Amino acid sequence: MTAANGSGWRDDLRRWIGARGSRVHLMGAGGIGMAGVARLLAARGLRVDGCDAGAPRTLDWLRSCGISAVTGHDPAHLTGADWAVFSPALAPDHPERRAAEALGIPLYRRGQVLPVLAERWRTLAVAGSHGKTTTASMAAHLLRSCGVDASWCIGGELPPDGAPAGAGTSDWLVIEADESDGTLSNYAPEIAVVTNIEFDHMEHFESRAGMVECFEAFARQARAVVAGADDPEAARLGRAVGGISFGFAEGAEYRGEVLEAGPGGTRFAVRTPDGRRREAWLRLTGRHNVLNALAALAACERQGGIDLDAACAALAGFRLPRRRFEQVAHARGIRVVADYAHHPSEIRSLVAAARQAGAGRIWAVFQPHRYTRTRALGAEFPPAFEAVAGVVLLPVYAASEPPMAGGTSEDLLEHFRGRGGAPAELARDLADAAARIEARWRAGDWILIIGAGDIEALGPLLAERLGAEP
């Protein structure tokens, strides 16, 4: 039995977090969300260390923050630890988790620690099936650009130095609130943003209703809610709790209108509940990014108290986190873009954004994420790729799941063949995928690297084959 399962876990965590000088060990510290929590714990005066099977870039960042971080898992890491935190990606039988339980070391989920950490701040928490990393990054950028030195803990590597978290001097904290393991209901923020609600994370939620329930609990515990008007579930939730709406839909209180969309970015207008109309410029393509901007503007202006004119002006300086429409190579007239998209809706938005940015012929390399998601949404993936010339599928990134019938990349390939959409083929590994793409590309093509697993390593492989500058 872990401390996470006890009835008084929140009070116990408050005591641990308040115990300056106590030692906490993070299992899976290389995960971007875990790394952010490590940084905030260290800022509270705790002795923090962690480990991960991979993620060398994130571990390097932790070390730059003065946090001990090593590669590899070993129960010996728990020697001398007062308490520990584990990533939701770690299976229940993980050796470090088992060791902590055997030693009686209090053990907590990341989705328990961050909500308790957040209690010392006025918190703006961004949740949703899609867009939460970008929206939270935008909100942090707007606050900080408008004179509010906010802290942040976001599941992305933010420009300019790739930091997923930082400690500011104001009483504001911007966080990305993750629903994947059901811990979303642990948060009680001052402002809750719900971008959209679409069935996902089948590894935890048995049904759409169960996931919606989780979002509802999150919204009910917030002082104010900002909800997407273009998404039926988010809109319904917003109305139920008296929230503020944003979107393109008729009646949205922060209503957007795309004025100009081209390769260089997007100019849009926002109309506020009191009738004001302001224009803004994003150096980003894609209608979904305008929605993200509307959410951030609504939360920061209506509840955060920043000036709308200043916020709209600040959007022009916003840059996406890594692996969000990130150009990783450009040579010989061929452009390679990496994106974290792993749900059909996200992939559809990504392809549309590439078209807006000037893409001609598009090739996609896709690494499905989790067997549960691939099995549940398999038939929805081919339509998301209909606008591309061809798809190379990689083996599923398991994320600690065992293989299951209907959820493999071979199963997904059958969905592509049955739909008659974009031609699809299966690659053995990253090197094989790179070779297949190289055999097809020509000047003017775009290559989209798509997925939430280790597929990002494909970027350097393609850059090398292109002869692109690192």
Task: Provide CB contacts within 8 A for 254, sequence distance 6+.
Answer: 244, 245, 246, 247, 270, 271, 272, 273, 294, 297, 298, 302
> Does residue 291 share a domain with residue 367?
no
> Does residue 443 share a domain with residue 362?
yes
Does residue 47 sit in helix, strand or coil?
strand
Instruction: Give the CATH number, domain containing residue 193.
Output: 3.40.1190.10
Backbone angles phi, psi at 105, to 5 degrees: -80, 125
What are the pLDDT digits (tens) for 175-197? Answer: 999 887 888 999 999 999 999 99
Q: What is the mean pLDDT of residues 342-362?
A: 95
> Does residue 394 share a domain with residue 293?
no
Active-site hit among 96, 123, 132, 301: 132
> Does residue 97 share a domain with residue 40?
yes
Assess whether pLDDT exceeds 90 at residue 468: no
Q: What is the mean pLDDT of residues 30-42?
A: 95
> Does residue 217 share a domain with residue 344?
no
User: How large is the C-alpha radius of gyration of the chain?
Assistant: 22
Residue 154 falls inside a structural domain? yes
> Does residue 277 share a domain with residue 146?
yes
> Does residue 170 share a domain with residue 105?
no
Asked whether the beta carbons of 281 and 316 are under 8 A apart, the reply is yes
Q: How far is CA 389 from the centre of its chain?
A: 27
What are the pLDDT digits (tens) for 357-366? Answer: 999 999 999 9
User: Residue 202 — very low, low, confident or very high, per pLDDT cuts 50/70/90?
Assistant: low
Assess whether pLDDT exceeds 70 at residue 257: yes
Does residue 4 sit in helix, strand or coil?
helix
Q: What is the mean pLDDT of residues 3-21?
A: 85
Q: What is the mean pLDDT of residues 276-292?
A: 96
> Does residue 75 share a domain with residue 55?
yes
How much is the mean pLDDT over the chain? 93
Domain count, the chain: 3
Weakest mean pLDDT among 215-224, 398-407, 429-438: 398-407
- Give the start-end residues of each E strand in 321-417: 326-331, 334-339, 362-366, 390-393
Distance CA 199, CA 205 (A): 9
- What local confidence, expressed as pLDDT, does residue 418 receive? 85
For residue 245, the cross-strand partners are 227
Q: Which domain holds residue 293?
A: 121-315
Kindly give the residue spans of alpha helices, DSSP state H, lying in 224-271: 232-240
Active-site hit among 157, 176, 253, 346: 176
Q: What is the mean pLDDT of residues 438-462?
A: 95
The residue among 255, 282, 315 that closes a domain is 315
- What local confidence, expressed as pLDDT, does residue 1 receive? 40
> Does residue 298 share a domain with residue 354?
no
Weakest mean pLDDT among 76-80, 89-93, 252-256, 281-285: 89-93
Residue 320 falls inside a structural domain? no
Residue 321 falls inside a structural domain? no
Provide the percentage of residues in the chain whose pLDDT is more than 70.
97
Assess whether pLDDT exceeds 50 at residue 339: yes
- What local confidence, expressed as pLDDT, does residue 211 receive? 86
- What local confidence, expressed as pLDDT, does residue 160 receive? 87
Residues recorded for the chain? 470
Residue 18 falls inside a structural domain? yes
- In the residue annotation, 133 being an active-site residue is answered as yes
Assess whether pLDDT exceeds 60 at residue 236: yes
DSSP-assigned letter for residue 202: T
- In the residue annotation, 71 being an active-site residue is answered as no
Asked whether the beta carbons of 73 and 86 are under 8 A apart, the reply is no
The residue among 74, 95, 112 that closes a domain is 112
Instruction: Give the CATH number, domain containing residue 415.
Output: 3.90.190.20
Closest CA to 190 of 305, 18, 315, 43: 305
> Does residue 256 share a domain with residue 155?
yes
What are the pLDDT digits (tens) for 59-88? Answer: 999 999 999 999 999 999 999 999 999 998
Distance CA 453, CA 367 (A): 7
Q: Kindly state the tokens that stand for 395.
A: 């083996």
> Does residue 252 share a domain with residue 368?
no
Active-site hit among 58, 96, 123, 133: 133
The residue among 258, 285, 315 that closes a domain is 315
Instruction: Give the CATH number, domain containing residue 53.
Output: 3.40.50.720
- In the residue annotation, 410 being an active-site residue is answered as no
Distance CA 422, CA 341 (A): 18
> Does residue 445 share a domain with residue 391?
yes
Residue 105 falls inside a structural domain? yes
